[in-house]
Structure 1
Amino acid sequence: MRQKTEEDDGGHRPEGETVHLRREIGLVPAASFIIGTVVGSGIFIAPKGVLLNSGSVGLSLVVWLLSGVLSLFGALCYAELGTTFSKSGGHYTYLLETLGPLPAFLRLWVEFIFMRPAVATYVSLAFGRYVVEPFFAPCEAPTSLIRLVSLLGVTFVVAINCWSVTMASRTQVTLTLIKTFALVLIIVPGVMALAKGRTENFQNGFELEALTLDRLPLAFYNGLYAYGGWFYLNMVTEEIINPNRTIPLAITCSMVMVTVLYVLVNVSYYTVMTPDELLVSEAVAVTFAGRALQGVSTVIPLLVALSCLGSLNGGFFTAPRMLFVGARDGHWPHIFSMIHIRRHTPLPAILLLYPLVVLMLITEEIQHLISLASFARWFFIALATLGMLVHRYRFPQLPRPFKVPLVIAVTFTAVCFFIVGMSLYSDPWNTGRSCALTLTGVPVYYATVHRSRLPARWTRLFNYCSEKFQILLEVAPQEVKTY
């Protein structure tokens, strides 16, 4: 007889079943989350920034390749961290275990104060733009309509992630297949044109007159932004089937695949478009399609929009798990460590992110969102891999199911710190804002986490509100599984 499920019981939790996050993510969904989160708006937007700041076609291709290799190095470091520490939470967990509570809290703080909302806003606006603009071409699309469609996309993704882990993972697999098809659709005509001898845009490809060292880190920021997302799988470690095998395998296969696809896509762009045409294009993929895919050019904006939607879905699936783990450890209000009693999703953590993204969608200008988010992101990634090296030195006998070569870990850490340091020189305004926003978490940590100094009246009011929200959202603390 088939075992009765919660769907058969009208969504009610079977008696005796514990409330916990289940291990439901296998190898294919894990690789899909990495590819689906990495391949978002970046490859369709960032080529312009990489070319502008690198100064030449050849050097821009080198930046794309090195950004992929650097991202692979970082992903391998996180594969070691993910198999050494079995908790979910990604950056937060690794900083907590290796460098202590203050860096871990600051990483949690910047993620939900500005980093995650900034990235989600950027991607959602790209989604809205690619959906709306084809209906208004060649005229400019209304900004208000783009923001409205972006908001609908965010709402759709939040609803899926609140409803079911299985539905979110299946959606991610489907969208990953679609966006991979979109990249292949761009690569094939470009490679065919290159094979026919269209190499004029690659002549004198390494002209270095336009290169300035202060702008090179910004080229890498744009390239690394397009590869961003390789670390998201580590935020859901507790939901991965056989993580010691799945995490390293999914990370390696997906990042090699993404790097090859990205380099080929850029080669295809430069085969069909001149550097000047690429720099003046507001939507590189659409301009490319108009020249090389005239028969199906109207399909490209839709495929790019779905690609952005997949990136949004991956971010909303993984990032709230960091908040969930932080709340479980006492670094965030306890309500955010609770799980829906029937859906088994971290509902409060997912819902917290939604109004922050909506607020930024309505009010924030997006021109500098990449620089604003990238400084904090790469600074804390560098701290996490530095903590991994420190942890290796302090506990050499600790079992590590996967161990990245030391030269890769040291190289990645050093390059990250170099890029972060150079960015302070290249773009002091945005990186300075990012640094200042990060430091605002220090007094919050000492007032609320290190030793609570909140008035008793505030504490009672907060506990009362938390209790009411727990009843309203039908959530409960995670229970310990018994076997």
Structure 2
Amino acid sequence: MANDGPESQPLLQRAGSASPPASPTVISKKPDTSSPSPQSEEGGSESNFYPSRAVEDDVLPETSAIGRTLSWQSAYILVISRVFGSGIFATPGAILRSVGSPGLSLILWVVGACVAACGIAVTLEFGSMLPRSGGHKVYLEFTYRRPRFLASTLVAVQAVVLGFAASNCIVFSQYVLFAFGIEAASEWLRKGLAVALLVAVTLVHGITPRFGVRLQDWLGWIKVGIILCMILSGLFVVIFRRSKLDVEPDSAGLVTGGSLWDNSNWDWGVIATSLFKVSYSYAGLDSVTNVMNEVKEPVRTLRSVTLSALATACGLYMLINVAYFLVVPIEDIKSSGELIAALFFERTFGVQVGRKVLPLAVALSAAGNVMVVTFAQSRLKQEIARQGFLPFSAVLSSTRPFHSPLGALVVHFIPSFLVIVLPPSNDVYSFILEVEGYPAQFISIALAAGLIWLRFKRSDLRRPFRAWIPAVLLQTSLSLALIAAPFFPPEKKPESGLFYASYAIVAISVFALAILYWYIWTVAIPCWRGYRLEEETEVLKDGTSITKLVHVSA
């Protein structure tokens, strides 16, 4: 590597290593000089030398063809804006409706923070060992190399089929229509607004990538400001005993501590689905791992940004939930659907401001979340394309013509578009959260088991961050419980009319089809046609190195 900075060195112990791996292979191929050269972490050019695509080289930092353009602030906003999406503005109503009481709802938000902390510990250890873009794709490929291509195929299918940005597009549409007083909007109008946002975000990141980063930074800070404003508004209501609310004090929010636990539903299946929704609100703390190739000082930034974002999210989530319960009557929260924040604003600031201006601010916050999800997910899908697991991988991996992953943005756009337009819009939001949250539990278990296995089998790897093993085991146990929970029938049938385990069946079916696809593609057809799959590295004209899967006669 051209750069000799400390974070550009292999994370391998050279002295005293029991069984050091072979030295990383470096390929040399000069790209087209008409494209901007990728920059090293300290600003130097790395246009002539690239780590090979061999999995062992994942211990080496790799600079994107776009360059290392993300500062600490941009990385922090990327994470915090991803975490503060539609979840805190939309899910508290659905969670309270499911579990029945504010007290149990608050407990789930605390449990969700603990689970997120355990999961993040695993991510930080892997991210510090393997500082490459791609997140759990890189970690699973490095750990589970047999059966060959299985881990890569499972991650690729899960990311492409189930990794979408539809939920926040839907929340954006609902809050915009609410702000303009259109409560009985047609199906096509609701879906049309959501699709329009998705198209706009895709074009911004695809055609004007630098402006897209600046815009998502700006929207992220606005989002933090909105949440702080809501918390202070709730405090104002408490101090002045709801004098500004047009309801009787006894009917507004929580009056006594005894009512915290009224109507609690301790059914494990209900708690599990609610935890999925809470987990969704904490999802995104690992967003930096998807874009490590573009982050300045990636290992150091990953640790500090992730821990800072977790502390910020936990504190603000608890405070904003308390603010909801203090201002909005419990029954109104249960019936609010995804509009709990709109009701909060209306009751706190009055109809004119609360019903129009501030809901638009929440819609803007949802738009910011769509931007950061699209930004991070497109980089993950670009890494999948670079590995050769998507058709037309060279086109989808390239950063031409706008110095952005335009092809990967299109791959991200398609499933998000289909999820928005195909299901009924009244039921799709909760179903999306559950379908996204369920397969993540399988990946979480695989990562935790892999981390423990690597502690024993690859002691030669240097670990700038080490996860606490009891936390890893706790997180694994909870993931196992969440996987089993959907198959315990609840006392009441879901209001949507769907089978109570529908989301689990959908997620498991996707994984089963992925395994079938892997077997046919990598085992059955090569055996039948008498060839084997081999990997070759190629450097595109823009400087992006990709893997080509070629057929070699057996």
TM interval, short-chain normalised? 0.7 to 0.9
Q: Residue 283 of structure 2 corresponds to which residue in structure 1?
A: 228
CA pair 156-397 structure 1, distance change in 2 beyond 3 A: same
CA distance in 2, matches of 1:210, 1:422: 15
Task: Name which of structure 1's ranges 72-81 and 245-254 shifts more when overlaid on structure 2.
Answer: 72-81
CA pair 169-455 structure 1, distance change in 2 beyond 3 A: farther
| Aligned with residue 157 of structure 1, among 195, 201, 211 | 201
Q: Residue 291 of structure 1 corresponds to which residue in structure 2?
A: 347
| 2:463 matches 1:400 | yes
CA distance in 1, matches of 2:131, 2:522: 24
Letter of the 1:236 partner, please give it: V
| Aligned with residue 517 of structure 2, among 429, 444, 459 | 444
Q: Secondary structure at the match of 1:204?
A: helix
| 2:86 matches 1:41 | yes
Residues 5-404 of structure 1: pairs in structure 2 closer than 5 A: 13=35, 18=47, 20-100=65-145, 101-113=149-161, 115-117=162-164, 120-137=165-182, 139-196=183-240, 199-200=254-255, 202-207=257-262, 209-282=264-337, 283-294=339-350, 296-297=353-354, 298-333=356-391, 334-335=393-394, 338-341=397-400, 343-365=402-424, 366=428, 367-404=430-467
CA pair 63-208 structure 1, distance change in 2 beyond 3 A: same
CA pair 43-441 structure 1, distance change in 2 beyond 3 A: same
Instruction: Write the deviation string for residues 153-176 of structure 1: whole angstroms up to 9, x where unpaired.
Output: 111111121124432321221111
Contact 1:133 1:140 in 2 (8 A): no
CA pair 331-291 structure 1, distance change in 2 beyond 3 A: same
Q: Secondary structure at the match of 2:310?
A: helix
Larger relative contact order, structure 1 or 2 (CA cutoff 8 Å, min sep 6) = 1
Instruction: Write the deviation string for residues 227-265 of structure 1: whole angstroms up to 9, x where unpaired.
Output: 111122211111111111100100000111011111111
Give the CA deviation at 1:146: 1.7
Q: Secondary structure at the match of 2:372?
A: helix
Give the CA deviation at 1:348: 1.2
Give the CA deviation at 1:81: 1.1
Contact 2:383 2:397 in 1 (8 A): no
Instruction: Write the deviation string for residues 382-431 of structure 1: whole angstroms up to 9, x where unpaired.
Output: 32222222222211231011222222222222222222222343542220
Instruction: Write the deviation string for residues 178-204 of structure 1: whole angstroms up to 9, x where unpaired.
Output: 111111121112122234567506433
Letter of the 1:203 partner, please give it: G
Greater helix content: 1
Instruction: Write the deviation string for residues 328-375 of structure 1: whole angstroms up to 9, x where unpaired.
Output: 223333235522245332221111222322222221231522222211
Q: Residue 470 of structure 1 corresponds to which residue in structure 2?
A: none
Instruction: Write the deviation string for residues 427-469 of structure 1: whole angstroms up to 9, x where unpaired.
Output: 422201210122101122123345754999xxxxxxxxxxxxx
CA distance in 2, matches of 1:158, 1:381: 29
CA pair 444-146 structure 1, distance change in 2 beyond 3 A: same
Give the alignment's TM-score, normalised by structure 2. Answer: 0.76
Q: Secondary structure at the match of 1:401?
A: coil
Task: Name which of structure 1's ranges 48-57 and 195-204 shifts more when overlaid on structure 2.
Answer: 195-204
Q: Secondary structure at the match of 1:87?
A: coil
Contact 1:448 1:454 in 2 (8 A): no
Contact 2:143 2:454 in 1 (8 A): yes
Task: Name which of structure 1's ranges 123-132 and 95-104 shifts more when overlaid on structure 2.
Answer: 95-104
Residues 405-416 of structure 1: pairs in structure 2 closer than 5 A: 405-416=468-479
Contact 2:448 2:476 in 1 (8 A): yes
Q: Residue 429 of structure 1 corresponds to which residue in structure 2?
A: 502
Task: Name which of structure 1's ranges 264-273 and 207-216 shifts more when overlaid on structure 2.
Answer: 207-216
Q: Percent same amino acid at aligned positions?
A: 21
Q: Secondary structure at the match of 1:440?
A: helix
| Aligned with residue 478 of structure 1, among 544, 547, 552 | 544
Structure 2 unaligned regions, length at least 5: 1-33, 39-44, 48-63, 243-253, 490-499, 530-539, 547-554
Instruction: Write the deviation string for residues 2-46 of structure 1: whole angstroms up to 9, x where unpaired.
Output: xxxxxxxxxx63699848131111211111011111111111111
Q: Secondary structure at the match of 1:343?
A: coil
Q: Secondary structure at the match of 2:461?
A: coil
CA distance in 1, matches of 2:92, 2:480: 23
Number of equivalenced pairs: 450
CA distance in 2, matches of 1:475, 1:196: 65
CA distance in 1, matches of 2:267, 2:110: 19
Letter of the 1:290 partner, please give it: E
CA pair 336-395 structure 1, distance change in 2 beyond 3 A: farther
Contact 1:38 1:229 in 2 (8 A): yes
Contact 1:372 1:433 in 2 (8 A): yes
Q: Secondary structure at the match of 2:403?
A: coil
CA distance in 1, matches of 2:37, 2:416: 37
Q: Secondary structure at the match of 1:356?
A: helix
Letter of the 1:408 partner, please give it: A
Task: Name which of structure 1's ranges 190-199 and 312-321 shifts more when overlaid on structure 2.
Answer: 190-199
